Chain A
Amino acid sequence: MEAIFFIILSIIIIFSSMMVILKKNPIASVLFLILALFSTAAMYVMLMAPFIAAIQIIVYAGAIMVLFLFVIMLLNLKKINEGGAVTLKILGVIVAGLMMVVTAVVLRSVAIPADSGFLRSSPEGFGTVENVGMTLFTTYLLPFEIASFLLLAAIIGAVVLAKKKL
């Protein structure tokens, strides 16, 4: 049962991720990106991390993607201009191919040992709100606080930039 869900979700994620870059219409790209992020959230549910799944939907599929749609609609981009020189396309293919070769080599060289914890199933109550909160506010308190300060600075910066007169 789990395998079937995994395969279906993977197909959706791969398909929609490809459509993000293949679609000419930026709105369609964003909508496919939303689909990809939603399916990723479903993956998190299967990995026993419902909290992360909800966060994924709220932050990415909800807030950030709505902002993306907003900006694209405001700029009123209808279609990305086609064309571009043939040499550019050839160059793109070469770079992408090299990238794939590099990734394949790296992935092959990193053999994951069976007891590394990557392949172990997660312990009971692994992704619950309580456990995520506990880890975040004890072990990773400093990074968490630094990240919040960074976001605060970003918010203040955005307000300062947007408002001509404070």
Chain B
Amino acid sequence: MNVLEPYMDLILSVVYLVGVLMFLTIFALLAVWLERKVSAHLQDRLGPMMTGGWHGWSQTIADALKLILKEDIIPAVADRKLFRLAPYLVFIGSLAGFAVLPFAHNLIGSDINIGVYYVIAITSLVVIGILMAGWASNNKWALYGAMRAAAQMVSYEIPVALSLLIPVLMAGTMSMQTIVQNQAGGFWNWYVFQSIPFSLVAFVIYFWASLAEVNRTPFDIPEAESELVAGFHVEYSGMRFAVFFLAEYGNMFVVSAIAATVFLGGWHAPFTFLDFIPGPIWFIGKSMGLVLVQLWLRWTLPRLRVDQLMHVCWKIFLPFSFANLLLVGLWVVLKG
């Protein structure tokens, strides 16, 4: 054991990383199945029912196997190196977000003191990966999709960051664990219900803007099927396409988990007498609840136009976020 002592941190990190990777894969498989089921039931269909017996639960496993076995096609005119690199960059950007998600009071990759900021920073890798994929494909639809995605993600980063600042202001720290610990003792202590209505507004703005960050309907114009075929990943096939898919679902979980952490009390139970249920269950449960709302919205709302999308961001979300930030600042100062 003594030989391993200096490397303990490294070993633990690797174990944690493998654990997160497995969690992400299982989550993506589950979420894709859930998405198909939710969409089917919203449209009065049944969705996949055959594979695996009970409500077609293993449909996505079969699909993933098919994707792995499919031929990997790289277009002849594509920039081969960038084309290959892009999906992994997007995936790394999504996976790196998991490093600061507090699953429980003692289960977090790294409780750095700029936790909230780190997430905002690291997700910009995704934009670069998407731009790279769109450009390297050498396909005009892919390029249009990538440019839309970049414009949208860069714009919506601002309301996301501003509304994340509100719980940071209220907690006086950016460390994820401290923010969660400050929300202990019942759901009325969660930041979303503090300083009403400002934090509620911040939560709503964050949730909508994060939908745009992860390119979900009603903000999914980067991959609008009816006009762009499939957007930036139109030329990808087989495993590389699956990596994009995995990253997309990973991002959905990351944005939901951040909302659950900073607004909804993280791993705390809504009532103190429910504390015997372990933290990860609450944390994953809250995040999954928000993911379900994302799915629900996707199959309910139509897609926005590009100009409407920019209008919503710059003329509605941004002024409201700024006003919100000022008012919460005042609230924090007056509260002492």
A residues with a Cβ closer than 8 A to B are: 27-28, 31, 34, 50-51, 54-55, 57-58, 61-63, 65-66, 69-70, 73, 128-129
Which residues on B sit within 8 Å (CB–CB) of A58? 117, 120-121, 124
Q: Does B131 lie within 8 Å of A128, measured CB to CB?
A: no
Q: Choose one: A50, A57, A70, A129; the contact of B124 (CB below 8 Å).
A: A57
Across chains A and B, the number of contacting residue pairs, with CB separation under 8 Å, is 62
Which residues on A sit within 8 Å (CB–CB) of B82? 27-28, 31
Q: Does A62 lie within 8 Å of B121, measured CB to CB?
A: yes
Does B128 make an interface contact (CB < 8 A)?
Answer: yes
Does B114 make an interface contact (CB < 8 A)?
Answer: yes
B residues with a Cβ closer than 8 A to A are: 79, 82, 112-114, 117-118, 120-122, 124-125, 127-128, 131-132, 135, 143, 147, 150-151, 154, 157, 174
Which residues on B sit within 8 Å (CB–CB) of A55? 121
Q: A54-B117, A66-B128, A70-B147 are in contact. List 16 more A-B contacts (CB 8 A).
A: A27-B82, A31-B82, A51-B117, A54-B120, A57-B122, A57-B124, A61-B125, A62-B124, A62-B157, A63-B154, A63-B157, A70-B151, A73-B131, A73-B135, A73-B143, A128-B113
In the bound complex, CA of A31 to CA of B158 (Å): 23
Query: In whole Å, how far is B275's beta carbon from the nearest beta carbon of chain A?
Result: 31
Q: Does B143 lie within 8 Å of A69, measured CB to CB?
A: no
In the bound complex, CA of A89 to CA of B113 (Å): 50
Q: Which residue of B lies closest to A50 (CB)?
A: B114
In the bound complex, CA of A14 to CA of B10 (Å): 27
Q: Choose one: A69, A73, A128; the contact of B128 (CB below 8 Å).
A: A69
In the bound complex, CA of A65 to CA of B128 (Å): 8
In the bound complex, CA of A31 to CA of B121 (Å): 17
In the bound complex, CA of A81 to CA of B147 (Å): 25
Query: In whole Å, how far is A50's beta carbon from the nearest beta carbon of chain B?
Result: 5
Q: Does A129 lie within 8 Å of B174, measured CB to CB?
A: yes
Q: Does A129 lie within 8 Å of B135, measured CB to CB?
A: no
In the bound complex, CA of A101 to CA of B1 (Å): 54
Which residues on A sit within 8 Å (CB–CB) of B117? 51, 54, 58, 129
In the bound complex, CA of A51 to CA of B79 (Å): 35
Q: Which residue of A lies closest to B168 (CB)?
A: A129
Query: In whole Å, how far is A96's beta carbon from the nearest beta carbon of chain B?
Result: 29
Q: Does A57 lie within 8 Å of B112, measured CB to CB?
A: no
In the bound complex, CA of A129 to CA of B157 (Å): 20
In the bound complex, CA of A50 to CA of B125 (Å): 17
Q: Which residue of B lies closest to A63 (CB)?
A: B154
Query: In whole Å, how far is B50's beta carbon from the nearest beta carbon of chain A?
Result: 44
In the bound complex, CA of A51 to CA of B114 (Å): 7
Q: Which residue of B lies closest to A128 (CB)?
A: B113
Q: Which residue of B lies closest to A57 (CB)?
A: B121
Given contacts A34-B128, A73-B147, contact A50 B113 (CB under 8 A): yes
In the bound complex, CA of A129 to CA of B147 (Å): 33
In the bound complex, CA of A65 to CA of B121 (Å): 13
Query: In whole Å, how far is B123's beta carbon from the nearest beta carbon of chain A?
Result: 8
Which residues on B sit within 8 Å (CB–CB) of A50? 112-114, 118
Query: In whole Å, how far is B90's beta carbon from the nearest beta carbon of chain A?
Result: 14
Given contacts A57-B121, A129-B174, contact A69 B131 (CB under 8 A): yes
Q: Does B127 lie within 8 Å of A62, measured CB to CB?
A: yes
Q: Which residue of A lies closest to B112 (CB)?
A: A50
Which residues on A sit within 8 Å (CB–CB) of B125? 61
